A and B are shown apart, each in its own frame.
Chain A
Amino acid sequence: MSTSASSTPTTLRSHSEPRLLEPGLERSDRIFHGLSTLTGAFVLLVTGGIGLFLGLQAIPTLRHYGLSFFTTVVWQPELDHIGIAAVLLGTLEVALVAMTLAFPLALMLALFISDYAPVKIKSYLVSAVDLMAAVPSIIYGLWGFFLLQPHAITLSRWLSQHFGWFPLFHVDTDPNAAVWQQSRYTSSVFIAGAAVSMMAIPLACAVMRAVFDQAPQGEREAAMALGGTRFGVVRTVVLPFARGGIIGGSMLALGRALGETAAVLIIISPAYEIKFRVLEAGTQTISALIAGNFGNATASQLSALMTAGFVLFLITLLVNTAAAVIIRRSRSGAGTDI
């Protein structure tokens, strides 16, 4: 890249020859194109290599355990008895709880910013959402564990007291005991999900808000002119226009929630069992499993962890690619402005 443009002498061509429209590139340009293509290939190799590498590492584990790797509940490497059934379920549960909390809040905040907030504070709100996305996940972990948890467990108890008949809200303890067992309600899927939702909200909200802002102004004004209220405009113009963005943004946030590590690691207490009781203490996710076990893992255990990582990789890849496709499609219909 040291060759600069000025050092290359301009070649004089004879007048009879027409200048080629696709001339051979200057030397500096050939170097430039070559180097940047090389960088692109390098990035492709490294980032794409992660998936390939995890996939290759998964082969010995899958050969050794076979399908039982997906059906075994416990993770006991010393007994050669490992599987991801419980951690996979835990990962999905944490992510789904996070999205249950994050989706309505993100949607409402995005609508508020795009259509309801006073114009003066709109840019500050956009900044606040961006800032929320930039706060490190470990800080949300501390927040969830120390600030949220003492309050959230009273809600957990209340839910299990009154809705304990519903399997999701059941907790294996006596909810009506005079001295209630607080430790049965702490470190649950619910609290981990609440902390993760703090990371999912800004991501989903940013995408949704961007799409809401793109909703054609002419159609908004038309709806207004027909006597619609503000919510009428939102319901008939903004939401239908932004359906792709809403789904895509939520899926993007779901992808983030699935892979979240630090906050989950701080909050949950590891438990390897198939259960849907989200308010009860103990769960495990793939990322927390990897973070907690890679240190004293033997070569074969490391391969098992990477197999679990590969499964996580495939899920997030699927979710994110689907999200990208949906968002792209929704934007392609944006040319309806008058």
Chain B
Amino acid sequence: MVSSPVQPRKIRSLTSDDWVSLVGAVIASFALVDLIYLHILNTSGALGFVVCWFASFMLLFAAVLSFVNPRHVIVDRLVTAALYVAALIVLGALASTVIYTFAQGWRALVHLNFYTHDMSGVSPTAPLNQGGILHAIVGTVIEVGIAIAIAVPVGVATAVYMSEVGGRFARWVRTVVEAMTALPEILAGLFVYVILIVYVGLPKTGFAVSVAMAVTMVPIIARAGEVALRVVPSGLREASSALGATHWSTVRKVVLPSAKAGLATATILAVARGIGETAVALITSGASSFMTINPIKNPMNSLPLFIFTADQTHEPLAIVRAFGAASVLLAMVLVLFILTRWLSRDKGARR
């Protein structure tokens, strides 16, 4: 089956023959589809064109390859082409999401007042040089701040418990925590809404959002944190114990500092998840148009909630504002994300 017994077949690099057949098939299929699809069948639609292009490319490519190659090589080349296309589709979708959001929000983003004003007294139809999303940015920062203050100690302590203390009960905790990382956010929101707002009678506030956010963040921190603690070499723990340290000081002075980067990554992952939670904010806080600093008194707006309510007005300018707020939210997530990469790279270098 091997094409030539003398020369080993190259598996990882493309020969000039491969390049020519690849480029040729791309061009030929484009020309073919252009002719048939646009001029003979006279149909239109970018999507249909691309799909037909891809299909005819696969056929032509297979036909060209079949001149010299055995069947399994043709299959390999076709699968490779399909995988490249699939990767392009997904990455293109991601890139289009990011670029489209910024492009649509650009008209709002260029106004300075968009960052320094709130929407109090500004109607959704007001021009973009009035009003802004300061209240939503501040609300998001405060809510996420409180959620971090609740979720990080609890989550890290749970991770320490599961990884360092252990025991039969810890297995139960781990099972439940694992199941809860996938809890739909709407259910966490509903839970907090009924407990805090319906039963306890608190008003709908930013604090309620923070609690609900923390409920969804704790399992993520605990689970990812446990993984970070587990990769701490047990030799370090044993050395510490052998020096006579108590378990607590081993954890505090050896285990936690070694896993610092991993724990930070876990936290940032949870924050990135929590910061975009719309359903939670929708249920547990009203969307105020004014600035609220006090998290336990008035409804507090946040970026996801602002995006959602602005979108629901169906006003063109409100939708531009929604995209502006979405760009700010996306920028926050991007910053957190880059921070995560940077921290985990640091960890990798030390290991």
Contact surface of A with B, Cβ cutoff 8 Å = 1, 4-6, 8, 10, 25-26, 28-29, 31-33, 35-37, 39-44, 46-50, 53-54, 57, 104-106, 108-109, 111-113, 116-117, 125, 127-128, 130-132, 134-143, 145-147, 151, 154-155, 158, 198, 201, 205, 224, 227, 229-232, 234, 252, 255-256, 258-262, 265-266, 287, 290-291, 294, 299, 302, 305-306, 309, 312-313, 316-317, 320-321, 324
User: Can you offer 7 A-B residue contacts whose CB atoms are under 8 A?
Assistant: A40-B158, A116-B83, A135-B98, A145-B311, A231-B76, A261-B184, A261-B278
A43-B158, A136-B304, A261-B279 known; 4 new pairs, CB 8 Å cut-off, are A40-B161, A47-B180, A132-B94, A141-B311
A301 to B185, CA, bound (A): 20
Q: Collect the chain A residues with CB atoms within 8 Å of residue B196's CB.
A: none
- Looking at B48, B198, B247, the one whose CB has the most chain A CB atoms below 10 A away is B247
Whether the Cβ atoms of A139 and B97 lie closer than 8 Å is yes
A291-B276 CB under 8 A given contacts A54-B187, A108-B83? no
A18 to B244, CA, bound (A): 17
Q: Collect the chain B residues with CB atoms within 8 Å of residue A111's CB.
A: 83
CB distance from A160 to the nearest CB of B (A): 14
Whether the Cβ atoms of B245 and A138 lie closer than 8 Å is no
Q: Collect the chain A residues with CB atoms within 8 Å of residue B180's CB.
A: 47-48, 50
A5 CB contact (under 8 Å) in B75, B82, B245? B245
Whether the Cβ atoms of B186 and A309 lie closer than 8 Å is yes
A32-B248 CB under 8 A given contacts A50-B215, A229-B76? yes
A140 to B169, CA, bound (A): 39
Closest to B156 in A: A39
A305 to B191, CA, bound (A): 11
- Looking at B1, B2, B186, B193, the one whose CB has the most chain A CB atoms below 10 A away is B186
A106 to B78, CA, bound (A): 18
A29 to B270, CA, bound (A): 29
CB distance from B331 to the nearest CB of A (A): 11
Whether the Cβ atoms of A229 and B272 lie closer than 8 Å is no
Whether the Cβ atoms of B218 and A47 lie closer than 8 Å is yes
Whether the Cβ atoms of A136 and B185 lie closer than 8 Å is no
- Looking at B190, B193, B222, the one whose CB has the most chain A CB atoms below 10 A away is B190
Whether the Cβ atoms of A43 and B337 lie closer than 8 Å is no
A40-B307 CB under 8 A given contacts A111-B83, A287-B186? no
Interface presence of B146 (CB below 8 A)? no
A189 to B180, CA, bound (A): 27
Whether the Cβ atoms of B86 and A108 lie closer than 8 Å is yes
Whether the Cβ atoms of A320 and B182 lie closer than 8 Å is yes
A142 CB contact (under 8 Å) in B11, B87, B188, B323? B323
Q: Collect the chain A residues with CB atoms within 8 Å of residue B48's CB.
A: 154-155, 158
Whether the Cβ atoms of B46 and A151 lie closer than 8 Å is yes
Q: Collect the chain A residues with CB atoms within 8 Å of residue B185's CB.
A: 259, 261
Contact surface of B with A, Cβ cutoff 8 Å = 1-2, 9, 11-12, 45-48, 72-73, 75-76, 79-80, 82-84, 86-87, 89-91, 93-94, 96-98, 100-101, 104, 154, 157-158, 160-162, 164-165, 169-170, 172-173, 176-180, 182-188, 190-191, 193-195, 198, 215, 218-219, 222, 244-249, 251, 269, 272-273, 275-279, 282-283, 304, 307-308, 311, 319, 322-323, 326, 329-330, 333-334, 336-337, 340-341
Number of A-B contacts (CB under 8 A): 276
Q: Collect the chain B residues with CB atoms within 8 Å of residue A317's CB.
A: 179
A265 to B179, CA, bound (A): 25
Whether the Cβ atoms of B82 and A108 lie closer than 8 Å is yes
Closest to B105 in A: A142
A10 to B249, CA, bound (A): 14
B278 CB contact (under 8 Å) in A10, A43, A104, A137? A137
A36 CB contact (under 8 Å) in B79, B157, B198? B157
Whether the Cβ atoms of A291 and B179 lie closer than 8 Å is no
Whether the Cβ atoms of A47 and B219 lie closer than 8 Å is yes
A260 to B308, CA, bound (A): 15
Whether the Cβ atoms of A8 and B246 lie closer than 8 Å is yes
- Looking at B157, B330, B341, the one whose CB has the most chain A CB atoms below 10 A away is B157
Q: Which 7 A-B pairs have the closest CB atoms?
A: A136-B276, A259-B184, A108-B86, A5-B249, A229-B76, A262-B278, A261-B279
Whether the Cβ atoms of B72 and A142 lie closer than 8 Å is no
Majority secondary structure of chain A interface residues (helix, strand, loop or mixed): helix
Whether the Cβ atoms of B333 and A135 lie closer than 8 Å is yes
B75 CB contact (under 8 Å) in A6, A231, A258? A231
A287 to B186, CA, bound (A): 6
A40-B170 CB under 8 A given contacts A5-B249, A116-B84? yes
Q: Collect the chain A residues with CB atoms within 8 Å of residue B319's CB.
A: 146
Whether the Cβ atoms of A50 and B183 lie closer than 8 Å is yes
CB distance from A101 to the nearest CB of B (A): 10
Whether the Cβ atoms of B182 and A57 lie closer than 8 Å is no
A321 to B184, CA, bound (A): 14
CB distance from B167 to the nearest CB of A (A): 8
A306 to B193, CA, bound (A): 11
Whether the Cβ atoms of A302 and B198 lie closer than 8 Å is yes
Closest to A130 in B: B337
Q: Collect the chain B residues with CB atoms within 8 Å of residue A294's CB.
A: 190, 193, 283
Whether the Cβ atoms of B157 and A291 lie closer than 8 Å is no
Whether the Cβ atoms of B73 and A143 lie closer than 8 Å is no
Whether the Cβ atoms of A291 and B248 lie closer than 8 Å is no
A252 to B333, CA, bound (A): 23
A39 CB contact (under 8 Å) in B86, B100, B161, B273? B161
Q: Collect the chain B residues with CB atoms within 8 Å of residue A309's CB.
A: 186-187, 190
Closest to B75 in A: A231
Whether the Cβ atoms of B76 and A259 lie closer than 8 Å is no
Whether the Cβ atoms of B97 and A229 lie closer than 8 Å is no
Whether the Cβ atoms of B278 and A48 lie closer than 8 Å is no
B184 CB contact (under 8 Å) in A4, A6, A105, A316? A316
Whether the Cβ atoms of B272 and A44 lie closer than 8 Å is no
Q: Collect the chain B residues with CB atoms within 8 Å of residue A106's CB.
A: 90
Whether the Cβ atoms of B80 and A116 lie closer than 8 Å is yes
A47-B177 CB under 8 A given contacts A35-B157, A108-B82, A302-B194? yes
